[in-house]
Amino acid sequence: MKAQSWLSINFFTFFFTWGIFLPYWTGWLVYEKDLTVAAASSIIAAGLFARSFSTLFLFPELSKRFSLAFLMKALPVVSTIILMFFIPVDSFTGLMIVMILFSLFYPNILPMMESNASLLMRTNNIHYGRSRSWGSIGYTVGLIVVGLVAAIWTESSIFAVMVVGSVMMIAGAFQYAPDALQEKVSPKRGSYAAVFKTPGFILVITICVLIQGAHASYYNYGFIYLQELNVSTAYIGFILNIAVLSEIVFFAVADKFFKNRPAAFMFFIASIAAVVRWALVGLFPSLWIFLVTQLFHSLTFGLAHYAFIRYLYRSVDKQLIPTAQGVYASLGMGLSAAVLTQVGGVLYDIDSGLAFTGMSIAVAPAILLSIVMHQKRIA
């Protein structure tokens, strides 16, 4: 199997599960385990903190000792085994323990997939946007399937779809991986220091922390927020998919339109879009406003993520890529989301709109940092 096809299939299967876990797990905990929104938020936040730790330390350490091809098989299997422990556990403490254990392994598949893509861009000349768009398609399919299934068999079925997705992910992972992934990357000694010494990395990762972290309320409370707007569960999956469809279109054309653009320019556009998006959702509790702002996802997530990948490709040493991806997944997609999930949960209990306007305020400094990045002429 060609490297491009292999990567596309595995992006699809992983993001199918991600499209279930990310937007629906808070709702599943609330409806199936009878938790309050605040209690479910605490469990999700605990998982995000564990995710932050594991992607920052566990994934880079594993990538030093095992090939990415081996980890592609091991992580989905271990994650699926731990996932099954959610079935018998009902207590708040027990659910938090299971969530922490699950978050030590499952989220590491994300930086691993991105590391695979970054390495294959160099060794096999694959088109990142083309394969990553299949990840977005997988996310879309996951959202639709869960929305329809939950409407027919209630929110209890969310877990069953997650199990099916996990089996699909394992099946995709056990296909023979490209030769470039069969050997250990062997990151340099002191790789964390080396990564942070890479010109512009601290500035870039700070921008990513702000932009990606500001999605916390959307990912964790979007499902509940739409129910609050009296939207049927059957339609919620389709509504959330508008964001992913815009992301699919973006990744399909990203290489053509943004391949030679400086990362600072892309981060600047993404940060402005983020401020506007979350302010509109928070200030105007309307289904139509929510629908329109879904299109902004191609910029607030897609463009910001693509900008980081292009920066990585241009500026970070090949041996440091797994570590850099771990830092990005930990700080940009984990720790910031954990903190802002807690903040969003508190604000949501006061007023649902505040959970989104708070994200708009949190991401605003990214605009200024993008300008600084441009002035420093960072790739």
Give the per-residue pLDDT at 342.
74
Mean pLDDT on 143-158: 78
In this predicted structure, the answer to whether residue 21 has a pLDDT above a threshold of 70 is: yes
The C-alpha atoms of residue 166 and residue 75 are separated, in whole angstroms, by 11
Closest CA to 69 of 141, 171, 173, 160: 173
pLDDT of residue 274: 95
pLDDT score, position 168: 93
Q: Which pLDDT does position 186 carry in this prediction?
A: 55
Q: Where are the alpha helices (DSSP H) in 33-103?
A: 37-53, 59-65, 68-83, 92-103
Is the confidence at residue 147, as pLDDT, over 80?
no
pLDDT at 190 over 60: no
Of 40-49, 190-199, 329-338, the range with the highest mean pLDDT is: 40-49
With 0-12 / 13-18 / 19 or more C-beta atoms within 10 angstroms meaning exposed / middle / buried, residue 14 is: buried
Assigned token pair, 165: 């997705």
Domains and CATH numbers, the chain: 3-181 (1.20.1250.20), 192-376 (1.20.1250.20)
Q: Are 205 and 329 in contact (CB under 8 A)?
A: no
**Amino acid (1-letter code) at residue 168:** M
Among 152-156, 224-228, 374-378, the minimum mean pLDDT is found in 152-156
Q: What are phi and psi of 371, to 5 degrees?
A: -65, -40
Q: pLDDT value at position 77?
A: 95
Q: What is the pLDDT of residue 76?
A: 93
Sign of the C-alpha dihedral, residues 287, 39, 57, 108?
negative
The pLDDT tens digits for 263-312 are 888 999 999 999 999 999 989 888 999 999 999 999 998 899 888 988 88
Q: How far is CA 204 from the centre of its chain?
A: 17
Q: What is the mean pLDDT of the chain?
A: 84
What's the pLDDT at 348? 81
Q: Which of 197, 179, 171 is nearest to 119 (CA)?
A: 179
Cα 78 versus chain centre, distance: 20
Q: Of 74-78, 187-191, 370-374, which gets the smallest average pLDDT?
A: 187-191
**Contact yes or no for 207/272 (Cβ under 8 A):** no
Q: Tell me the CA end-to-end span of the chain in Å, nearest whole number.
A: 33
**Of residues 315 and 141, which shows the higher confidence score?**
141
Name the residue with higher pLDDT: 81 or 174. 81
Model pTM score: 0.73
Quote the CA–CA distance of 279 and 294 in Å, as a whole number.
Answer: 13
The Cα 207–Cα 300 span in angstroms is 12
Task: Please indicate whether residue 211 or residue 376 has the higher confidence score (pLDDT).
Answer: 211
pLDDT at 38 over 80: no
CA distances to 128, 132, 135, 356, 369 from 5, rounded to whole Å, are 11, 11, 12, 38, 37
CA R_g for the chain: 19
Identify which of 156, 155, 29 has the alpha carbon closest to the alpha carbon of residue 96: 29
Q: Worst-scoring range by mean pLDDT, 84-98, 236-250, 315-329, 365-379?
A: 315-329
Whether 118 has a pLDDT exceeding 80, the answer reads: no
Q: Give the torsion sign (CA, 187, 188, 194, 198).
A: negative
pLDDT at 189 over 70: no
